[in-house]
Amino acid sequence: MDTLNSTTQVASEHKTRGRVKKFLFRSASSIVVIAILAQVTYTYSGSNQWEKLGERNGVTVYSMKSPGSNFKKFKAIWRVHTTLSKFVMFARYEDDPTIGYDMKDIEIQSDKLIWSTWKQEFPSPLKKREFVVKNEFSQDPRTKELLFTVTADPDKIPPNDCCIRLQTMTNSWRLTPLKNGETEIEWFVDMDLGGFLPYFVQNAEQPDGMFYFASKVQSYLDQEKYKNARVDWVEEAQP
């Protein structure tokens, strides 16, 4: 009798474990399916319209989610007191290590078309990033508006094992002189930092980085080394 009871108990336990395994498997499968559906829904969502995220210290930041992309685009708009020549010199030669290090030109085709590279540290355990980009300057002769675009060109130089090289970046700075002597800056960011940095982390952190850096630009432009900056091809707006 004891043997029969024991056998029955073992069989019951096997059935219970079997039910638990099936339940866990079904639950895990459901979670995976839900996650996939959520990801697909997010990827193909988006209004393709700029949405205001906030304003700090005169800097307003916007984001845009486009259907088919996980990465949001961002732009910051604010005003500074500067000449356009000062900005061009800042864009070309600023060597603050908090922006990047090991900066150098790869090819200079003209004063308005330059390929350059630099590296940027990332918090551990993330690997540092390497930027290889094409820098282009242009100016509207009528409005004096200045456009500076920075586009990833990862195959311009051989690969470097030191870092993760950005493959996707189309950033720009548009400077519009205003009647009151100020200059409005529109800084546009569209990039993928690559590596194992999840898109949702980049989307969450990018606005704070833009608020922070935009608020520092005036102090860069006010540096003594840019005081008498003059770029031959730049036409300054008249007061």
pLDDT tens digits for range 12-21: 555 556 565 5
Report pLDDT for 10.
Answer: 47
One DSSP character per residue, 106-174 reads EEEEETTEEEEEEEE---TTSPPEEEEEEEEEEE-TTT--EEEEEEE-TTSS---TTSEEP-EEEEEEE
Q: What is the mean pLDDT of the chain?
A: 87
For 237, residues 6+ apart whose C-beta sits below 8 A from its C-beta are 84, 144, 177
CA distances from residue 151 to 54, 169, 187 in whole angstroms, order as listed: 27, 5, 14
Q: Give the tens place of pLDDT for each residue, 95-109.
A: 999 899 999 999 999
| pLDDT digits 0-9 by tens, 59-81 | 999 999 988 889 999 999 999 99
Residue 185 has what pLDDT?
Answer: 98
Q: What is the mean pLDDT of residues 195-213?
A: 94
Angle at 209 between CA 181 and CA 151, to 5 degrees: 80
- The reported pTM is 0.83
Q: Tell me what pLDDT residue 129 has.
A: 96
For residues 55 and 79, give the distance between their C-alpha atoms in angstroms, rounded to a whole number.
13
Residues 151-187 pLDDT 10s: 999 999 999 999 999 999 999 999 999 988 899 999 9
Q: What is the pLDDT of residues 34-44, one digit of tens each?
A: 444 444 455 65
In angstroms, rounded to a whole number, what is the distance separating the alpha carbons of residues 56 and 54?
A: 7
Strand duo 129-139 + 164-165: pairing: parallel
